[in-house]
């Protein structure tokens, strides 16, 4: 399957993407994970992206399109991919459309994961992430077995730099202003599936139903 996962920070895009990869071997492509990896490795890309990310602002579109143009042409994308956190702006969505036409690729649809704001806020403040493998935990509902240590790879499980109260409120404002308009964009393209659900299992079922129809 080839899907775009849309939704506010904390809507569960990453969790849903990880679950979908197990269904048919599609790969999760998270621009946030790619950028965090670049920051940790201290690459040129990481140096350019770091201050935007820390403040909860978006990284400039041209940097993101450069990453995605390469990533979408890697071999593992042939089995399908789940775009998690990309596109994030209307210009990115328009450029993605051109890029896909250029490389002869086509998406199935875009999924808008619609979760109430109070649930989002609670999730973002209690979310913890493995800084080595990106596994997602929650201090209340899904803590790692050993505090601070990833069950899957043993890496450090930490609060992301952009999950301070200030950065979270900026990320949500940026989402409303820059990313929420993508819902209308994909609706006009006739390729939007909106799922109003807080459970990832319900989101997965709705996706599978649409894929089968």
Question: Which residues of this protein are in contact with ligand AMP, per CB under 6 A?
Answer: 9, 31-32, 35, 52-53, 56-59, 64, 85-86, 88, 92, 162, 171
Q: Which candidate in 171, 178, 188, 210 is catalytic?
A: 171
Shortest separation between residue 102's beta carbon and ligand AMP, angstroms: 19
Q: Is 171 marked active-site? A: yes
Question: Nearest approach, Cβ of 173 to ligand AMP (angstroms)?
Answer: 11
CB 169 within 8 A of CB 160: no
Per annotation, catalytic residue among 2, 54, 71, 160? 160
Among the options 13, 36, 123, 128, which is catalytic?
13
Q: 28 or 92, CB closer to ligand AMP?
A: 92
> How far apart (Å, rounded) are the C-alpha atoms in residues 13 and 52?
21
Measured distance CA(46)–CA(40) in Å, rounded: 7
- Give min distance, CB of 209 to ligand AMP, in A: 26
Rank residues 105 and 210 by Cβ distance to ligand AMP and give the closer one: 105
Residue 88 is among the residues annotated as catalytic for this protein: yes
CA atoms within 13 A on the CB side of 184: 8
- Residue pair 212/204 in contact (Cβ under 8 Å)? The answer is no
Alpha-carbon gap, residue 143 to 138, rounded angstroms = 5
Q: Is 160 a catalytic residue?
A: yes
Of 53 and 113, the one with the shorter C-beta distance to ligand AMP is: 53
Residue 20 or 64: the one with the smaller Cβ distance to ligand AMP is 64
User: In 15-147, at which residue ranges do the beta strands (DSSP E only) sit?
Assistant: 27-30, 81-84, 109-114, 127-130, 136-138
Query: Is there a contact between 20 and 26 (Cβ–Cβ < 8 Å)?
Result: yes
By residue count, the chain amounts to 213
- Closest residue by beta carbon to ligand AMP: 32
Residues serving a catalytic function are 13, 88, 127, 160, 171
């Amino acid at each position: 399957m080839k899907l775009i996962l849309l939704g506010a920070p904390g809507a569960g895009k990453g969790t849903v993407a990880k679950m979908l990869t197990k269904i048919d071997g599609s790969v999760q492509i998270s621009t946030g994970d790619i950028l965090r990896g670049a920051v940790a490795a201290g690459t040129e890309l990481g140096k350019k992206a770091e201050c935007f990310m820390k403040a909860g602002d978006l990284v400039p579109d041209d940097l993101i399109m450069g990453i995605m143009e390469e990533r979408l042409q890697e071999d593992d994308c042939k089995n399908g991919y789940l775009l998690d956190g990309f596109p994030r702006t209307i210009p990115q969505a328009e450029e993605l459309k051109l890029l896909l036409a250029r490389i002869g690729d086509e998406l199935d649809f875009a999924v808008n994961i619609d979760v109430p704001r109070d649930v989002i806020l609670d999730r973002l403040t209690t979310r913890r992430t493995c800084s080595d493998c990106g596994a997602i935990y929650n201090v209340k509902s899904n803590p790692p077995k050993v505090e601070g240590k990833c069950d899957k790879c043993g890496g450090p499980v930490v609060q992301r730099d952009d999950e301070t109260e200030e950065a979270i409120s900026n990320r949500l404002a940026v989402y409303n202003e820059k990313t929420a308009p993508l819902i209308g964009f994909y609706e006009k393209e006739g390729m939007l599936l909106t799922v109003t659900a807080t459970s990832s299992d319900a989101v997965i079922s709705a996706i599978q139903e649409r894929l089968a129809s």
